[in-house]
Structure 1
Amino acid sequence: MQSLAQKESNRIKQTDQKANKSSLGNLLRENMRQYSIIISLICIMIFFQILSGGILLKPLNITNLILQNSYILVLAIGMVLVIILGHIDLSVGSIAAFTGAISAILMVNDHIPTFIAVVVSLLIGALVGAWQGFWVAYVRIPSFIVTLAGMLIFRGLTMVVLKGTSIAPFPVSFQKMSSGFIPDLFMGASLNIFTIVIGIVLSLILVLTQIKQRKNQLKYNLYSQPIGLFIAKLVATVAIINLFAYVLATYEGVPNILVILVVLILAYRFVTRKTIAGRHIYAIGGNEKAAALSGIKTKGVTFWVFVNMGVLAALSGLLFAARLNAATPGAGNLFELDAIAACFIGGASAYGGIGTVAGAIIGGLVMGVMNNGMSLLGIGIDWQQGIKGFVLLLAVAFDIYNKNKAS
């Protein structure tokens, strides 16, 4: 017969084994939820890479993907904050068109220097955002109604200021903002050496930052990933960064717009994750009444989020105008739907309080790759719109399923 001590020891071992299996299962489920959108993006890229005969991931097409989707990604960064807050903005496409038209009048017709015209256009975007933020935050009109009115107002104003015609061409210095590339300081012949160097430097910064972060987590007994998973994720990320840098280096190098996007992503990721303002946005989106009772100035936060959205919509309009090299009355058409779809596909909740900048960017890339891949396969715009709508519906349905399952 086993002694009581042996029985107790066996019971403890069995309990520990069950706990380890449970924790391992939780770990796998959590990481699967966290990286599901990345896995989806990779699968979609592989799918279209095979069907397009290898065209999708060619250096020229990768560069075009960045240039073609830059203005949607800029909008998605601002839109995800609006959605986290529990609101929506349907006017961003019209604001982008309006500010693009104003910039054309300033630069092409009035010959205002590029820098001044860009600053003025961004300030106009901020004023438009403040106008809409006032009605939403202080008058308490639903954002859907306010921004729907804004969509109509600023689309009409765009047609008024352009008088139904296009204005072109823009100065070369302005065009380079969207279609220019960082010059190769090392004067590589067939390969942009400076782009390779940038990839290596970014990899080193990432490795050192992640190691330091893990050490701090272990030092203060905070949750940290198992060492094997940590190393695997780090190796995979470094490989992707350097492979991406090599692909860009074989064409023209790093586009200027990519630098703008990276700066925006890092800045807004820091704001949402590391600042009090970012925590206030999530708190209001989660429960506005509770946030107000906690002392958060909910009206002020809402107002400034819409101001921020106006500025980013203006920047998106400038980038689109620079790439098109013209301001047209139809610019920005359906931009708002692509930006909203990018946020929801990237994991933002239709109920507010949930979402990330990185998720919105990946969601935007999913939309961009789908658009590009279907175009390469010769699928018409009618089917493209239908397929994108179906993907958006699935993303929101998945969000609602998870919410119901959690409750």
Structure 2
Amino acid sequence: MTGIANLRDLLTRNMRQSGIYIAFVLIIALFSILTDGLLLGPRNVTSLVLQYSYILILAIGMVIVIIGGHIDLSVGSVVALTGAVSAVLVIREGLPWYVGVLAAIATGLLVGAWQGFWVAYVGIPAFIVTLAGMLLFRGLTLQVLENISLSPFPAEYSTIAAGFQNGLLGGYGFDTFTLVIFGIAVIGYAVSAWRTRQARIAYKQTVEAPALFGIKLLLIAAVVMWFAYRLATSRGLPNVLIVLAVLILVYTVVTKHSVFGRHVYAIGGNLAAAQLSGVRVKRVNFWIFVNMGFLASVAGVVFSARSNGAQPAAGQMFELDAIAACFIGGAAVTGGIGTVAGAMVGGLIMAVMSNGMQLMGVDQSTQQVVKGLVLLAAVAFDVWNKRRASAARS
């Protein structure tokens, strides 16, 4: 009975996060059946990573914005602008590919500083500032590109999003290097989870039974290594997945273990209390948007590299996909709640649904309807969960 009680506690202690992982597994299973296994084919798994990586990159920054109690409607336009700046320098002016990357990142940082100034120091709501930014940066994109598309990028630039690490350690029918890298990641996760569990025990916090903890690690390891094997039997480890993995690790540490991360949660959770506690709210809000500009520029580089060019209409609706990923992944509409991992799962849910419906031949209009309903259901669940928690406290 103790094991059953621990299992119940494990699943209900954080209902939002537990639910999203279960939903993710069920959605994968559903679309795998509906597509006759095509969804989980090695080539399609690789395509999923390549096609939706820039949305996941945007979601990392967006979840921090949302945790802080803000919203950013301009990221799609910033993706287009940063890609346009890079294309003009590399394709039109013939400069080295890395100059275009650095210029794109610099542009994103300037955009973030611009919007952060108006939000943090002038006090204009982020919704208005970024709505204006969506129009402003789209117009600048048109001016930079002179209303035409530019292509192609040199091979070195395209490799950022379309290249693979394959054959470094050999293998027969699969890439050994990919499996080794994922194996190291699994070991690292297991060590981190074990240390976290020991720390909770030291502070006399509730943890799952050792058997359940071991089963959870084994299940996670099995899923991760299965995913790695799918990549290894296709084209190897995508370069863009390396970029995404580094960003996930860095921003997980930033949000969970840094002073900046704690201050972001404090501002989003209770602004008045944060001010009284000495949190430099204006400074933190400023850097929230600088960080969003930086990640939007990284997404802009990845997207332009994948599309092998820059287009005036690039990045349209990206902001909505990123916002949806965060809310589906457990972020609260009122701020103060959310995780990088949750945003990633939310983004992957959107990616699996989109890709699955494409494989099934579902028309674009129906896809939009389904995405809208899923987003509405996620936010409705957030509201219901808060009311339930409030009623339990009273």
For normalisation by structure 2, the TM-score amounts to: 0.95
Q: CA deviation at 1:109?
A: 1.0
1:128 alignment partner in structure 2: 111
C-alpha contact 2:91 2:153 (8 A) present in aligned 1: yes
For these two proteins, the number of residue pairs brought into alignment is 390
C-alpha contact 1:80 1:356 (8 A) present in aligned 2: yes
CA distance in 2, matches of 1:23, 1:374: 38
Is the counterpart of residue 401 in structure 1 residue 355 in structure 2? no
Q: RMSD of aligned C-alpha atoms?
A: 1.7
The DSSP-based 3-state class of the residue aligned with 2:73 is coil
Percent identical: 53
The DSSP-based 3-state class of the residue aligned with 2:237 is coil
1:32-84 Cα shifts (integer Å, max 9, x gaps) = 54321111111111111111111000000000000000000000000000000
CA distance in 1, matches of 2:314, 2:53: 14
2:23 alignment partner in structure 1: 40
2:134 alignment partner in structure 1: 151
1:234-278 Cα shifts (integer Å, max 9, x gaps) = 110111121111111101111000000100001000010011110
1:49 alignment partner in structure 2: 32
Letter in 2 for 1:56: L
Q: Work out which of the residue numbers 297, 300, 303 in structure 1 matches 2:280.
A: 297
CA distance in 2, matches of 1:185, 1:322: 23
Q: Work out which of the residue numbers 123, 144, 154 in structure 2 matches 1:171.
A: 154
C-alpha contact 2:17 2:342 (8 A) present in aligned 1: no
1:65 alignment partner in structure 2: 48
Q: CA deviation at 1:189?
A: 4.1
Q: Alpha carbons of 1:32 and 1:282: their partners in 2 closer, same or farther (altered >3 Å)? A: closer
Letter in 2 for 1:191: F
Is the counterpart of residue 386 in structure 1 residue 369 in structure 2? yes
CA distance in 2, matches of 1:31, 1:404: 15
Letter in 2 for 1:345: I
C-alpha contact 1:184 1:195 (8 A) present in aligned 2: no
Alignment gaps of 5+ in structure 1: 1-16
CA distance in 1, matches of 2:16, 2:210: 20
**Deviation beyond 4 Å, 4+ runs, structure 1:** 19-25
Q: Work out which of the residue numbers 281, 284, 300 in structure 1 matches 2:264.
A: 281
1:100-111 equivalences under 5 Å are 100-111=83-94
Alignment gaps of 5+ in structure 2: none
1:60-99 equivalences under 5 Å are 60-99=43-82
1:236 alignment partner in structure 2: 219
Q: CA deviation at 1:324?
A: 0.4
Letter in 2 for 1:395: A
C-alpha contact 1:345 1:360 (8 A) present in aligned 2: yes
CA distance in 2, matches of 1:227, 1:389: 40
Q: CA deviation at 1:22?
A: 7.3
CA distance in 2, matches of 1:27, 1:346: 18
1:333-348 equivalences under 5 Å are 333-348=316-331
1:12 alignment partner in structure 2: none
Q: Alpha carbons of 1:176 and 1:283: their partners in 2 closer, same or farther (altered >3 Å)? A: same
The worse-fitting range, judged by mean Cα deviation, of 195-204 and 75-84 is 195-204
CA distance in 1, matches of 2:191, 2:258: 22
C-alpha contact 2:255 2:261 (8 A) present in aligned 1: yes
